[in-house]
A and B are shown apart, each in its own frame.
Chain A
Amino acid sequence: MQTVAIHAIHRILNMIVVIIAVGISGAALMRYAPGFDADEHDLDARLSAETKSRFRAARRQDANLPQFLWKFARKVSHGDWGFSVTLNRPVRELITERGSVTAKELGGGLFGAASAGLALAFLVYASGSAALQTIASSMSALLLCIPAALLGYVALWLRLPSGVILGATLLPHLFQYAVNLLESMRHRPHLLAARCRGVNPWRIRVAYALAPCLPEWLASLGACASLGFSLAIPIEYASGTPGLGQLAWQAASSRDFPTLFVLTLLSAAFVMVCGTGADMVSARNGENPHAQ
């Protein structure tokens, strides 16, 4: 138990250091990148000179890096996450509004992909059929090869919720991981011992092979959350879903510095929290000899 606690403290400290590093390097990268001074609005003939100069003034405010970081930290402590000039709304409002859409989409997609992936992998493992394994692996490989943005267009065309498409893109990753986990169980000593004792084969498959895999399986979902957010960007862009992925694309293509910065920090924090959770589940599982 003590080892798990030390591990948890170590992970949390590491998480804080990494998030600070992401913040500083992200802000520095944005400030010193060659395209910082370039602005698409300057090329937009529909905008007036006054509007263009307003955009330039907003950009100049963020030019001094230490000043920007200090101002940002002070504002965040008062609940102000900055203002998106491009979308003309406070960043916090944008993120709260769109975060719920992406959370619903990611939660649904991840749950669907996890359930389907595990069920399919268990079916392949339990049947022991080479043909079924070949078909399932081929389908999973095929899904891995299709760009997520294209699947987003398919969602739009078929009027499917983007969560379904997100689930479909996550499914091959989760299926393959579940297959590997279950295959690694096949020759474990406790399984061989159960077989020798004449335990019912289905009980062996469910209680001796599937059940010990579950904690590690749950831990893998944490790692998949980052992948899910990554895939949500092209899917939301293509399907027109107003979530965080679409916001990230809008912020990136219009060089919306405050929104990009907050999204970078939030996504890093989200991934680190998921990773830490997954790590802690794995560490706890490692301490429990029955789970091995």
Chain B
Amino acid sequence: MPNKRLFRHLAKALLALIVLVGLCAPLIAPRGFAEMSRDEALAGPSKAHPLGTDEEGRDRLSRLIYGIRISLILAPLAAVLATLIAALLGSLAARGGGLLEKVFLVFSDALLCIPWMFLLISVRALLPLNADVGVSVSITFLLLASLGWAGAARVVRVRVRSLLRREDQLWRRASGIGETRSLLIHLAPNLWPVLKTQFWLAVPAFILSESNLSMIGLGVSEPLPSLGNLIHELENVGAVRDAPWLLAPLGVLVFVLLLVHAATSRERTQTA
């Protein structure tokens, strides 16, 4: 048991380190992510470019560091937003009951019954595709947050309902404690473990969804790098034999996701 705990803490520390690398990208990256050097296009690893350059002559290592920043900072932010939406809507439905709860259930069912990737690409396609890079990043991650709350909201609804039926809640009502105070001061702390679990479940799902979206050309658009559009370079899988350094973004993605799985193993076990 202490080994598992140590392993979880180690995974969290490594994750924090990777996020820190992403945050400090402008200080750490040897070059800018869009800095081109046509003379050095498709160069192999060297002292100046440890991971070589892409076909535009951009330094792959710098793009990877900036890609980490985009994927690993915005995906958790989107997960925070999705969890907040879930907390708000789930609590409102549980508290309101009746028609409000029925409408909530129908709409969350409607969101959940459309396959996730299909929902993402359909809604993404309805938004401008030839948008500015900054807008495309915001759209991608806001989309994940605004569509990814339904499952978590249903869990929150069940939890709030059970909390509202508890004896201590009856006692508070009998003592004349106001509903807002009761909700914010007494119920919110009890809801925290559920929200934390839902957040940690959303993070890897959002990172992977961004990767898939960017790989099919509907996510973060060039020249901005994200782990997804960097992996897109593996389109020609056979090229890896001659240039194994192309696997670096995939390695980082898999490593990060395995770290998230390891760091959140306790929450996952509780959910299962």
Contact = CB atoms under 8 A, between A and B. Distances in A.
A270 to B, nearest CB: 9
A267 B114 contact: yes
Interface stretch (B127-135, B157-165, B166-174): B127-135
A260 B238 CA distance: 34
A232 to B, nearest CB: 8
A238 interface: yes
Contact of A33 (B116, B127, B204, B215): B127
Interface string B245-271: 000001001100110010000000000
A34 B128 contact: yes
A36 B128 CA distance: 8
Given A147-B212, A147-B253, A149-B215, A271 B125 contact: no
B254 A268 contact: no
A36 B129 CA distance: 11
Interface in B117-142: 117-118, 121-130
A255 interface: yes
A199 interface: no
A150 interface: yes
A14 interface: yes
Interface stretch (A15-23, A65-73, A90-98, A116-124): A15-23
B123 A29 contact: yes
B272 A180 contact: yes
Nearest to A33: B126
B238 A157 contact: yes
A266 to B, nearest CB: 10
Interface stretch (A55-63, A137-145, A190-198): A137-145
B109 to A, nearest CB: 5
B7 interface: no
B113 A253 contact: no
Contact of A237 (B114, B208, B216): B216
A240 to B, nearest CB: 11
A137 B65 CA distance: 30
B30 interface: no
A149 B258 contact: no
A234 interface: yes
B113 A147 contact: no
B106 A17 contact: yes
A147 B215 contact: yes
A275 to B, nearest CB: 7
B237 interface: yes
Interface string B215-232: 111100000000010010
B115 interface: yes
B113 A18 contact: yes
B185 interface: no
B16 to A, nearest CB: 19
Nearest to B128: A35
A36 B113 CA distance: 24
Nearest to B256: A145
A269 B114 CA distance: 9
B113 A22 contact: yes
Nearest to A257: B126
B235 interface: yes
B250 A150 contact: yes
A45 interface: no
Contacts of B257: 144-145
Interface of B: 106-107, 109-110, 113-118, 121-130, 204, 208, 211-212, 215-218, 228, 231, 234-238, 250, 253-254, 257-258, 261, 272
19 contacts: A18-B109, A18-B113, A21-B110, A22-B114, A26-B122, A29-B126, A35-B126, A144-B257, A145-B258, A147-B215, A153-B237, A226-B115, A230-B117, A233-B121, A253-B218, A260-B122, A268-B113, A268-B114, A271-B114
Given A234-B215, A252-B121, A260-B122, 20 more contacts: A21-B109, A26-B122, A38-B129, A43-B130, A145-B257, A146-B250, A147-B212, A147-B231, A148-B212, A150-B250, A157-B236, A180-B272, A227-B115, A230-B117, A238-B215, A248-B118, A251-B125, A253-B217, A267-B115, A267-B118
Interface of A: 14, 17-18, 21-22, 25-26, 29-30, 33-36, 38, 40, 43, 141-142, 144-150, 153-154, 156-157, 180, 226-227, 229-231, 233-234, 237-238, 248-249, 251-253, 255, 260, 263-264, 267-268, 271-272, 275
